[in-house]
Amino acid sequence: MTHLCSSCKQIIVNNALRKSCGSCQQIFCSKCLYQRIAVPKLNYQMQEVCTPCYHSIGTQMMLQKPPKGFTQRLEQQQPQQQQMRMSVNQIDPETKALEERLQKLRMDFPASSSTTAAAAGVANTPDDLLRQMNDELSIQNNDQNALADRLRILHETMPAATPDTVILPKPKEEVVDDDEDEEFPWCTVCNDNATKRCLDCDELFCESCVKKIHRQSSYKNHQLESYKPSAKAKKKYNY
């Protein structure tokens, strides 16, 4: 059996998505029935209700009279509040100003004042707090004066900095890596051990390759010299 949603009028195919309003008991889909409220006719149990019932019940609860016990509690609190206001207004201005001054001092020195008073066994009176504040200010001034004296003595005992007295750090010497400029002691053509250097080609050759290349007419006038690698290159490259 299919059902229609009373709100959106769509067919509810899946029974798991079918819901009934806790107040009017009409059928709704899960998208249209999602609000919860205490229903009066069900002894104020929380139920999922439709939107019209939600607004109707909410309006009724706003218009109905509050419970008798709640009204009595309000009536009892009003005389107490009025009495407290009268007692506050009856405080003389001098006492009120003293209390405001004490409150401000407690806010400015919350930890130190309470600790000193507890250690000395005296109450947190305005005079005690003022005395403590003056002591702390004097300690702070003494610390500043001591610091100024130390700086003055340091300035008097140390000589003024001049170009002759200032020693600048020496610049670091650049370390030249010989390996970067070292060439491979091999023939450019066949990678055999080189024995000749062509000054015009600026290349190294073995005996065989230098003859083959420089017998050509374009290389005959090149200047050749003997090549011997350094001892470091011989050891490093197994020359």
Tell me: do 26 and 47 sit in the same domain: yes
pLDDT tens track for 75-104:
777 776 666 666 655 566 767 777 777 777
Tell me: do 72 and 41 sit in the same domain: no
pLDDT tens track for 144-164:
788 888 778 777 776 665 666
Residue 105 or 53, more confident: 53
Stretch 218-228: mean pLDDT, rounded?
88
Q: Is the pTM of this model over 0.85?
A: no
Largest CA distance in the chain: 128
Would residue 210 count as lying in a domain? yes
Provide the domain limits for residue 40: 3-63
pLDDT at 114: 47
Report the CATH number at residue 72.
4.10.640
Range with the poorest average pLDDT among 43-52, 99-108, 188-197, 208-217: 99-108
Tell me: do 36 and 72 sit in the same domain: no
Tell me: do 22 and 71 sit in the same domain: no
Give me the number of domains the chain comprises.
Answer: 2
pLDDT at 51: 92
Tell me: do 73 and 59 sit in the same domain: no
Q: Could you tell me the CA-to-CA distances from 161 to 81, 155, 164, 165 in Å, in that order?
A: 75, 11, 8, 6
pLDDT tens track for 21-77:
999 999 999 889 999 988 888 887 889 999 999 999 888 877 766 666 656 667 777
- What are the φ and ψ backbone dihedral angles of 170, each rounded to 5 degrees? -75, 140
Q: Whole-angstrom Cα distance, residue 239 to residue 55?
A: 101
Q: Whole-angstrom Cα distance, residue 239 to residue 220?
A: 28
| DSSP SS3 for 9 | coil
Tell me: do 189 and 221 sit in the same domain: yes
Asked if 51 and 32 touch (Cβ cutoff 8 Å), the reply is yes
pLDDT at 83: 66
pLDDT at 113: 46
